[in-house]
Amino acid sequence: MKDLQERKERRNVLEKKLADAEVSEEEHNNLLKYLEKRETEYMRLQRHKMGADDFEPLTMIGKGAFGEVRICREKLSGNVYAMKKLKKSEMLRRGQVEHVKAERNLLAEVDSNCIVNLYCSFQDEEYLYLIMEYLPGGDMMTLLMRKDTLTEDEARFYVGETVLAIESIHKHNYIHRDIKPDNLLLDRNGHMKLSDFGLCKPLDCSILQEKDFSAANNLSGALQSDGRPAAPKRSQQEQLQHWQRNRRMLAYSTVGTPDYIAPEVLLKKGYGMECDWWSLGAIMYEMLVGYPPFYSDEPMSTCRKIVNWRNHLKFPEEAKLSSEAKDLISKLLCNVDQRLGTKGAYEIKVLIHGLMVSSGTNYIK
């Protein structure tokens, strides 16, 4: 009875949204049919006790320190899903059990078009399996590798959709902490959904001492962590080419990348939901410039730059960013107490909406 009531409520919510959006009768009926199909699929999976043998593994789309993600096909229905397969012994060894539990609970709890759907989960002696929605549009990382940079209108659209996704998890008191282009997935219509397919372990910054993060040691960025001279300053195009080469190698790496992590997370001095808005700023910068704002040849140098962001946040002249875009990024890549989004996602939505209206672009409510 509870499931049927929840199903009815979801339909009522969709019908209200469709009425407010003033869509055509044909679009209205098509969306309702799509919802019914998804609901039926979900209920069937819930009724039947699933196991790994019910699915045919296909192409691998993600690999990390303690698991992998594959496209799979359910043998009975032929439906295609993304199967996240996590090795339990590695999860325990790396202390990731609570993180994975939190992700599973979040995906099951949050009913949002901005979050990848979780259909069911099960386990055997060795692995935990999450059967999730498969999004055929790829991810933002792949899109950026293909296009190098986005126009400001494109960036604002994707940033706007990412804001909605982050807001939906924050409403459930969940902090993502690892938002990056790899985790921003695109559906067949080009809309964004937030996931956590990276499976990469966090970068271990514990070997760094407090003095390593001091501004005095990082003003010039002249030395790398092993004392070797840093690479000479590159032009935007040279930096873009270097980033693209390394990005392809990082795609299947288990090391993790700190490029989008907020300074307060790196310093491990306590952090809140604001850290996700920093990640959004770093991603928007990459969308427009072509590489992350604090990118270095090695991860530890990137960490130092992030913590000393005042000295290292620069906008290359060749990128020709508008003053509005620079302003938005600067209000996300800043101190926690001044960071846009600290008082709620509406702060960012209002600013993005204003920018889109001024450029003649429609903003998704």
> Do 185 and 250 lie in a common domain?
yes
State both tokens at 334: 């800043």
Contact 151, 143 (CB under 8 A): no
Q: Could you tell me if 32 and 42 are in contact, meaning their C-beta atoms sit under 8 angstroms apart?
A: no
Q: 356: pLDDT confidence band, cut at 50, 70 and 90?
A: low
Residue in the block written with tokens 């270097």: 242
Confidence class for position 249, pLDDT limits 50, 70, 90: low
| pLDDT at position 98 over 80 | no
Q: How many domains does the chain have?
A: 2
The verdict on 248 and 173 lying in the same domain is yes
- The pLDDT of residue 341: 93
Q: What pLDDT does 228 receive?
A: 45
Residues 148 and 124 in one domain: no
Residues 163 and 78 in one domain: no
User: 6: pLDDT confidence band, cut at 50, 70 and 90?
Assistant: low
Q: Identify the pLDDT of residue 99.
A: 73
Domain assignment present for 364: no
More confident site: 291 or 95: 291
The model's pTM? 0.76
Share above pLDDT 70 across residues of the chain, in percent, rounded to a whole number: 70
Residue 172: predicted pLDDT: 84
Same domain, 267 and 313: yes
Which tops the pLDDT comparison, 140 or 198? 140
Which of these three, 113, 132, 151, is where a domain ends?
A: 132
Residue 332 inside a domain? The answer is: yes
User: How much is the average pLDDT of 275-286?
Assistant: 96
Domain assignment of residue 365, yes or no? no
Catalytic, out of 54, 148, 153, 178: 178
Domain that holds residue 41: 2-132
Q: Decide if 203 contacts 183 (C-beta within 8 A).
A: no
* 217 within 8 A of 82, measured Cβ to Cβ: no
Residue 250 has pLDDT above 50, yes or no: yes
pLDDT at residue 185, rounded to an integer: 95
So what's the pLDDT on residue 144? 93
Same domain for 288 and 352: yes
Q: In terms of domains, do 144 and 128 share one?
A: no
Query: What is 35-88 written as a DSSP string?
Result: HHHHHHHHHHHHHS---GGGEEEEEEEEE-SSEEEEEEEETTT--EEEEEEEEH
pLDDT digits (tens, 9 = 90+) for 266-278: 998 788 999 999 9
Cα separations in angstroms, 166 against 13, 170, 215 = 20, 6, 31
pLDDT of res. 103? 75
Which of 132, 156, 178 lies at the terminal end of a domain, its last residue? 132
Give the pLDDT score at 53. Answer: 94
Residues annotated within a binding site: 84
| 126 within domain boundaries | yes
> Which stretches within 94-151 are classed as H helix?
97-109, 140-147
CA 214, CA 212: separation in Å to the nearest integer?
A: 6
Are residue 147 and residue 242 in the same domain, yes or no? yes
In a domain, 101, yes or no: yes
Query: How does DSSP assign 135-198, residue by residue?
Result: -TT-BHHHHHHHHSS--HHHHHHHHHHHHHHHHHHHTTT---S---GGGEEE-TTS-EEE----
Residue 211 domain-assigned? yes
Q: What is the pLDDT of residue 152?
A: 93
Average pLDDT across the chain, whole number:
80
Shared domain check, 226 and 104: no
Given pLDDT bands bounded at 50, 70 and 90, which one contains residue 47? low
> CATH no. for residue 21?
3.30.200.20
90 vs 7, which has greater pLDDT? 90
Looking at residue 15, its pLDDT comes to 66
Q: Is 100 within 8 Å of 91 (Cβ atoms)?
A: yes
Comparing 27 with 6, the larger pLDDT belongs to: 27
Compare 320 and 219 and report the one with higher pLDDT.
320
**CB distance 329 to 284 below 8 Å:** yes
Q: What is the pLDDT of residues 191-231, one digit of tens each?
A: 999 987 444 444 555 545 545 555 434 443 444 444 444 55
Single residue among 102, 132, 162 that ends a domain in this structure: 132
Same domain, 149 and 123: no
26 exposed, middle or buried (CB, 10 Å; 0-12, 13-18, 19+)? exposed
Is 178 considered catalytic here? Answer: yes
Q: Compare 332 and 91 and report the one with higher pLDDT.
A: 332
Known binding residues for ATP are: 84
229 and 124 both lie in a single domain: no
> Does one domain contain both 58 and 181?
no
- The domain that holds 269 is classified in CATH as 1.10.510.10
Candidate from 26-40, 130-144, 154-168, 202-216 with smallest mean pLDDT = 202-216
Does residue 48 form part of some domain? Answer: yes
